[in-house]
Amino acid sequence: MEFEFRLPDLGEGIAEAEIRNWLVEEGEQIAEHQPVVEVETDKALVELPAPKGGRILKHHHLEGAVVAVGDSLLTIDTENGNQERPPSYGIVGELPEAEEAAPPNKQTKTPTAPEPAGEVHALPSVRALAKELHVNLDKITGSGPERSITAEDVRAAADAAPKEPGEPKQSEEPEEPVPAAQERLPQQGIRRVIARKLLQSQQLTAFVTTMDEFDVTRLCNLKLREEPQLAERDLHLTFLPFFIKATQHALLEFPRFNARLDEQSNELIMQPDCHMGIAVDTDDGLMVPVLRDIATKSVIRLAEELQRLSEHARQRSIAREDLQGSTFTLTNFGSYGGHFATPIINYPNVAILGCGRIRERPWVVAGELAIRQILPLSLTFDHRVSDGAEASRFLSHIGRYLEDPGLLFIESV
Amino acid sequence: MPREPIAHFQIERLGILDARGEVDTELLPPLSDSQFLQLYELLQLTRLADERALSLQREGRLGTFPSSLGQEAAQVGSGFALARQDWVFPSFREIGVFLCLGYPLSTYLRYWMGDERGLLAPPELNIFPINIAVGTHLLHAAGAALGARYRKDPVVAVAYLGDGGTSKGDFHEALNMAGIYRLPLVAVCQNNQWAISVARNKQTAAATLAQKAIGYGIQGIQVDGNDVLAVYQATSEALERARGGGGPTFIECETYRMSDHTTADDARRYRDPAEVETWRDKDPLLRMQRFLERRGLWHEAEQRELEETQRRRLDAAVAEAEAMEPPQVEEMFRYTCHQLSSRQQQQLQECRDGSP
Amino acid sequence: MAVLNLVQAINQALQQALAADDRVLVFGEDVAADGGVFRATEGLLEQFGAERVFDTPLAESGIVGLAVGLAAYGLRPVAEIQFLGFTYSAIDQIYTHAARIRARSRGRYSCPLVVRTPYGGGIKAPELHEESSEALFCHMPGLKVVIPSTPSNAKGLLLAAIADPDPVIYLEPTRLYRLLKEEVPEEPYLTPLGQARIAQSGDQLTIIAWGSMLERTLKAAGDYPAEVIDLQTLSPFDRETVLASVRKTGRVLIVHEAPKTGGFGAELAATIAEEAIMALKAPILRVTGYDVVLPLPLLEEDNLPSAKRIAAAIEKLLRY
């Protein structure tokens, strides 16, 4: 139903008003009492509310027009307006209304029945222990009530050769958490654990290796120059601290390689600090002790720590917590020989840098042949986290610090 | 032995001001002209406030609202008789009582906007929170009446209910106890003929609601609920009786719910519009207007001025209500009990953090 | 110190509360001249008069509603409902009103009432006289639920309940009314609400019980290295004491006579699983009444947790 909203008598003998400003558009839905227009009289600027709700069909005047009292301002279609009472249900409150009919039931995938792996009977605390020790519960027969797996069962499995359930292990681990300072690693079973971890890494990551060579002649000269001084302090300077520092700096530009992938939530968890795992070959097998907070340490300090580390490794006294918490790993196999390689990611890191042997090689420098010191680098990365182009750029970035050590100085933080 | 009647009862109906505005001068309450005017102003304010609330609801600025249209006299007549110290136990359709007692309108509106702070009565008023579980609050009034008597306070507990409330078990238990203990209690029943869609004659087989009092051994009276003077008079008498130790009274105000049960109801689904029309002539404001006119106390021009003043007052109340800061989640916890348990404190923190 | 049984301890608490605070009123069915059907209110009418100790008509909703009004007016009503099963008529007044007045009025009014009522089975009574539905009330925020288990904590807990600013449902284990006797200190004292009591210390398993089952649990726990916790207050319950014990022992048994499903043991078990799961060495076990309509006397003992069932559960847990 159409309703004409006419300029009302604004009182005080006013006969006309100028339309200053329409507050609503044609076609707009309005409510009763809603201000629809501003008009100006001799005395004041007045906002007029609509006496009825509905849809604005037409403005009858343009802004600036002078309108007499009684003239139509607007036509309102009240049929669809709030003039019509809303449907009443329920006596109280407001029920939400469906907008559209729900689509017909989609074909839902029937969930595939879980593999009948056999239920693992283990309490939450035991499961947490198993996870920490990287023990696969599926492989264990429980010795607890209802054939449940106990903490002892888990620890036994984490160590040496498989034992009969219930038999005491040879190297008994203490039940209580071990005090930090004097933790000694049990000698047995390490290789088992290492093997398991390496396999796990290759099963869980999408590993790819990119390789490149860099002219580190300047670096070699720098090292040669500084070595004697440090030797006076009984400090043996190797290339490793330089590799570590260069990598840490490059990670500032490429933090993805320092991160950790949360497979559950599919989120990349960025790690603010760089803790470098250093692959170390010991008589007992490969170990990866961790140098912490690389960003806060100089090359010299790193050299000191590495020196201490190799001493511990020789004495088989690396503490357990020094083997945890790396965000990136470096393997300096070049000290044994070797050029390029495909190192295995130290899971749950997302990348590992392998450093081959520095060799004198014929090289092209400014268009001419020269003898240069060439370092091969191999970067294995988790392709789920990064693509090849980015990985190559990261590797090049490390390389440029090693080619021109001065860059470390001017780009250092 | 012959069968003989062992008891007789009767129920009175009181009317003073009829629909035409004529009064029974013998029954006229001893009020001054200024008080008659006050009564009328309160009737008018109730009507305008109620209208405004409906309007706000339609504009989405107020939640579901139960209108009191047509029931102004029952609410104002009784409210006007109350003493400052009396305790009031409302149900949910007493906007006129709240206005009579000076309850801040902005606070009242807040309740219907969905905010418990609307029930935070000012310290000088003894108004219990609006009661939704029909009839259950009569017991609270009985308890307060008992407490007042124990403390020897000159307090009367006044409870409001509708015709539907008289069917509830707690109504029975409360009036029964009020009778036994001779409590200083007045129950004011706004019989507006409808409990949502159930008509009064489907609510009880009793001929009047007032006669239910007989069963409890207490006083009962029916009044013309659209006659503000009769309601006032009956309430005054009941209050005096209660204060004097004479026990409780049940007052049935016969009136009509001119509007829907609430803004989420459509009475056209179950009511004959002709019935509604018959009550238009019995309008409480109209008859009071006529009465005042005859006494030379009311004029057309003053009516306009009154409405304008009252509308401005309503505007201010609405503005104040809408300017209030929204409630904080902390309040949900804070008022659940005197002191939060450690678990509740933890949950409050989780609620603030948005954690599970 | 006098030796009192549980109902005498309650009587003493009421007497001391009435004497100390003139806001306290005691009422209910048959509580005045008759002194209460279990004599819990014996002698109170004579000592304090009919204005303060009075009978009500047979109207449970009315009794609680009256208490709500009295409490809102500023008094401290202690209303008796003759048996827990009869509170069902008053659930509306308890849940809709007593529990909510403070929140509804934003603190302008509060409801410091106590509803005391005999609860629990094992007394060979007809239907509705042996209910154990405490979990219902534990599900009502704004209410406190208190259950004594000995004469001495009955007195302290009731005095604390009367003094509490919030509404308290105080459930008295009928079976223990005259079964337990002990020395109870003469002077008034408060046993704080919301605190559990270690009834027996132990380090291999934690047993949580309350009310009527506490006595039975202690008997069954006997020489086992069990820590027995008497909850005393169910709502709010003493999480700290419970969790500390669970972390110490790693094994949990909960004993209640109420039906298993939705019983208060479920809340305890969920809380323990939520907050101490790493400490658990074994599943959380509950020994409870069955999910059946409460039987009449001839079968009632078959439904209640027996010492045998409790001991079997202890044995099972200790195997972990």
Under the banding of pLDDT at 50, 70 and 90, the label for residue A111 is: low
Q: How many C-beta atoms lie closer than 10 Å to residue B312's C-beta?
A: 10
Residue among C65, C67, C102 minimizing CB distance to B174: C65
CA gap A380, A210 in Å, rounded: 6
Residues of B in contact with A33 (CB under 8 A): 55, 59
User: For all residues of chain B together, what is the average pLDDT?
Assistant: 95
Q: What residues form DSSP beta bridges with A214?
A: A375
Rg (CA), chain B: 21
Interchain CB contacts (distance < 8 Å): A and B: 33
- Domain A202-411 belongs in CATH node 3.40.50.720: no
Residues of A in contact with C319 (CB under 8 A): 145
Q: For residues A302 and A291, is the Cβ–Cβ distance under 8 A?
A: yes
Structure confidence by residue, pLDDT tens digits, A121-149 = 888 889 989 999 999 988 888 888 888 89
Q: Which residues of C touch B338 (CB under 8 A)?
A: 102, 110, 164-166
What is the average pLDDT value for chain A, to the nearest integer?
83
pLDDT digits (tens, 9 = 90+) for C73-85: 999 999 999 999 9
Give the 3-state DSSP-derived string for C212-226, with helices as H, strands as E and coil as C: HHHHHHHHHHCCCCE
How far does the CA of residue B269 sit from the closest CA of chain A (Å)? 10
Q: Residue A32: its chain B contacts at CB < 8 A?
A: 55, 58-59
Q: Residue B177: which of C83, C89, C63 has the closest Cα?
A: C63
Q: A80 vs chain B: nearest CA distance in angstroms?
A: 14
Q: Which residue of B has its CA nearest to C167?
A: B337
Q: What is the pLDDT of residues B82-141, one digit of tens each?
A: 999 999 999 999 999 999 999 999 999 999 999 999 999 999 999 999 999 999 999 999
Count how many Cα atoms sit within 13 Å of the Cα of residue B293 in the half-sphere of its side chain: 13
- Within 13 Å and on the Cβ side, how many CA atoms surround C172? 30
Residue span(s) of chain A under CATH 4.10.320 come to 124-171
Residue A95 contacts B, CB cutoff 8 Å: no
What chain A residue is nearest to B113 in terms of C-alpha separation?
Answer: A93
Kind and range of the H or E run holding A308: helix A299-314
- The pLDDT of B294-321, averaged and rounded, is 94
Q: Where in chain C is the domain with CATH 3.40.50.920?
A: 197-318
Domains for chain B: give ranges and CATH numbers. 18-325 (3.40.50.970), 329-356 (no CATH)
Interchain pair B336, C97: CB under 8 A? no
> Are B170 and C109 a contacting pair at CB < 8 A?
no
Q: Does the pLDDT at position A171 exceed 50?
A: no
| pTM of this structure | 0.69
Of chain A, the percentage scoring pLDDT greater than 90 comes to: 37
Does residue B67 sit at the A interface (CB-CB below 8 Å)? no
* C35 vs A3, more confident: C35
How far away is chain A from the Cα of B23, in angstroms, using its nearest Cα? Answer: 39
Q: Determine contact: C274 vs chain A, CB below 8 A.
A: no
pLDDT over threshold 70, residue C87:
yes
B276, B258 Cβ separation under 8 angstroms: yes
Note whether B59 contacts A31, CB cutoff 8 Å: yes
Active site residue C139: no
- Kind of pairing between the strands at A328-331 and A290-291: unpaired
Kindly state the average pLDDT of the residues B282-308.
94
Q: Which residues have C-beta within 8 Å of that of residue C69, sequence separation ≥ 6? A: B139, B140, B141, B142, B143, B144, B145, B146, B147, B157
Distance CA B116, CA B102 (A): 19
Cα B205 to chain center, whole Å? Answer: 24
Using one digit for the tens of pLDDT, what is the confidence trace for B169-213?
Answer: 999 999 999 999 999 999 999 999 999 999 999 999 999 999 999
- CB-based contact B127:B90 (threshold 8 Å): yes
d(CA C173, CA A61): 83
CA angle C197, C202, C205 (to 5 degrees): 95
Closest residue to B336, CB basis, from C71, C77, C103: C103
β-sheet bridge partners, residue A281:
A286
One-letter amino acid identity for A132?
E
A/C interface, count of CB pairs below 8 Å: 17
Q: Which of residues 278-297 of C touch A (CB under 8 A)?
A: 278-282
How many Å apart are CA A297 and CA A292, to the nearest integer?
Answer: 9
Catalytic residues of B: 257, 261, 270
Q: Degrees (nearest 5) of the Cα angle A328, A329, A334? A: 145
CA dihedral C26, C30, C34, C40 (to 10 degrees): -50
The shortest C-alpha distance from C165 to chain B (Å) reads 6
* Amino acid code (one letter) for C160: A
First to last CA, chain A: 75
First and final C-alpha spacing in chain B: 78
Interchain CB contact of A143 with B (< 8 Å):
no
Q: Are the Cβ atoms of C277 and A125 closer than 8 angstroms?
A: yes
B5/chain A closest Cα distance in angstroms: 46
C121 pLDDT band, cuts 50/70/90, is very high
pLDDT, tens only, C195-236: 999 999 999 999 999 999 999 999 999 899 999 999 999 999
Hey, which bits of A119-241 come out as E strands?
207-215
Selected from 4.10.320, 1.10.1760, 2.40.50, 3.30.70, the CATH number assigned to the domain covering A124-171 reads: 4.10.320
Q: Which of B59, B196, B262 sits opposite A33 (nearest CB)?
A: B59
All CATH 3.40.50.970 domain ranges in chain C, comma separated? 2-184
Of B142, B176, B338, the CB nearest to C69: B142
Q: In CATH, which superfamily holds the domain spanning C2-184? A: Thiamin diphosphate (ThDP)-binding fold, Pyr/PP domains (3.40.50.970)
Nearest chain A CA: its distance from C319 CA (Å): 6
Q: Above 70 in pLDDT, residue A169?
A: no
pLDDT of residue A187: 52
Contacting subunits of C (3+ beta carbon pairs below 8 A)? A, B
Reply yes or no: is the peptide bond before residue C236 cis, omega within 30 of 0.
yes
Whether residues A91 and B59 touch (CB distance < 8 A) is answered with no
CB B98 within 8 A of CB B168: no
Q: Do residues C247 and C276 make contact, with C-beta atoms less than 8 angstroms apart?
A: yes
**CATH entry 3.40.50.720 includes domain A2-77:** no
Interchain contact, A125 vs C320, CB within 8 Å = no
Report d(CA A238, CA C294) in Å as an integer.
Answer: 83
- Closest CA relative to residue C142, chosen from C78, C93, C191, C83: C93
Looking at the DSSP bridge assignments, the partners of residue C115 are C79, C169
Task: Give CA–CA dist C78/C117, Å, rounded.
Answer: 10
Task: Chain A: list its partners (3+ Cβ pairs within 8 Å).
Answer: B, C
> Over the stretch B13-54, which tens digit does the pLDDT of each residue have?
999 999 999 999 999 999 999 999 999 999 999 999 999 999
The DSSP secondary-structure symbol of B264 reads B
Find the closest chain B residue to A51 by CA distance.
B55
Minimal C-alpha gap between B262 and chain A (Å): 6
Name which of A247, A229, A217, A230 is nearest A352 in CA terms: A247
Across the range B289-315, mean pLDDT stands at 94
Residue A79 pLDDT level (bands cut at 50, 70, 90): low
Contact list in A for residue B264 (CB cut-off 8 A) is 88-94
For residue B335, give the nearest of C57, C61, C103 by CB distance.
C103
A47 within 8 A of A18, measured Cβ to Cβ: no
User: What number is the average pLDDT over the span A360-366?
Assistant: 94
**For residue B297, what are its two tokens?**
């106390």
Three-state DSSP class for residue A375: strand
Q: A307 pLDDT band (50/70/90 cuts)?
A: confident
Handedness of CA A298, A301, A303, A309 (dihedral sign): negative
Strands (DSSP E) found in A237-391 = 260-262, 267-269, 276-278, 280-282, 285-287, 290-291, 328-331, 351-355, 359-365, 368-382
Residue type, B201: N
Q: Which DSSP helix (H) or strand (E) runs through B323?
A: helix B300-323
Q: Which of A60, A61, A312, A383 is catalytic?
A: A383
**What fold does the segment set C197-318 form as a domain?**
Rossmann fold (3.40.50)
Instruction: List the chains bordering chain B where 3 or more Cβ pairs fall under 8 Å.
Output: A, C
**Cis geometry, peptide bond prior to residue A348 (ω within 30 degrees of 0):** yes
Cross-chain residue pair C105–B121, CB shorter than 8 Å: yes
Contact with chain B for residue C241, Cβ under 8 A: no
What's the rounded Cα separation, in Å, for the pair C214 and C218?
A: 6
pLDDT-derived band of residue A105, with 50, 70 and 90 as boundaries? low
Closest CA to B190 of B210, B170, B216: B210
Examine the pLDDT at A175 and tell me if it is beyond 60.
Answer: no
Of B55, B59, B196, nearest to A91 by CB-CB distance is: B196
Query: Which residues of chain C have a CB within 8 Å of the CB of A148?
Result: 320
B58 contacts A91? CB cut-off 8 A: no
A244 pLDDT exceeds 90? yes
Q: Cβ separation of A123 and C279 shorter than 8 Å? A: no
B64 and A89 within 8 Å at the Cβ level: the answer is no
Chain B closest-CA separation from residue A61 CA (Å): 28
d(CA A306, CA A290): 10
Q: Which two tokens stand for residue B271?
A: 């009511």
DSSP string spanning A73-120?
EEEEE-TTSTTSPPP--SBSS-----SSPPPPPP-PPPPPPPP-----
Give the whole-angstrom CA distance, residue A345 versus residue A347.
Answer: 6
Pairwise CB contact (< 8 Å): C320 & A145: yes
Residue A210, class by beta-carbon neighbours within 10 Å (0-12 exposed, 13-18 middle, 19+ buried)? middle
Q: How far is A175 from chain C (nearest CA, A)?
A: 14
The answer to whether residue A249 scores a pLDDT higher than 80 is yes
Strand stretches in C202-290, DSSP E = 205-209, 226-230, 233-235, 252-259, 285-289
pLDDT at A203: 85
Kindly determine whether residue C320 and residue A144, on different chains, have CB atoms separated by under 8 Å.
yes
A33 touches chain B (CB under 8 A): yes
How, if at all, do strands A207-215 and A368-382 pair? antiparallel
Name which of B19, B20, B39 is nearest B29 in CA terms. B39
Closest residue on chain A to C277 (Cα): A124
CA–CA distance, C83 with C294 (Å, rounded to integer): 15
Closest chain C residue to B179, measured at CA: C57
Cβ neighbours, 10 Å, residue C22: 13
Question: What pLDDT sits at residue A172?
Answer: 47
Expressed in angstroms, the distance from the first to the final Cα of chain C is 44
Residue whose C-alpha is closest to residue C155's, from C178, C185, C199 = C185
Kindly tell me if the per-residue pLDDT of A94 is higher than 80.
no
Q: Pick from C24, C26, C106, C169 the residue to mutate for testing the B interface (most B CBs within 10 Å).
A: C106
For C52, the closest chain B residue by CA position comes to B150
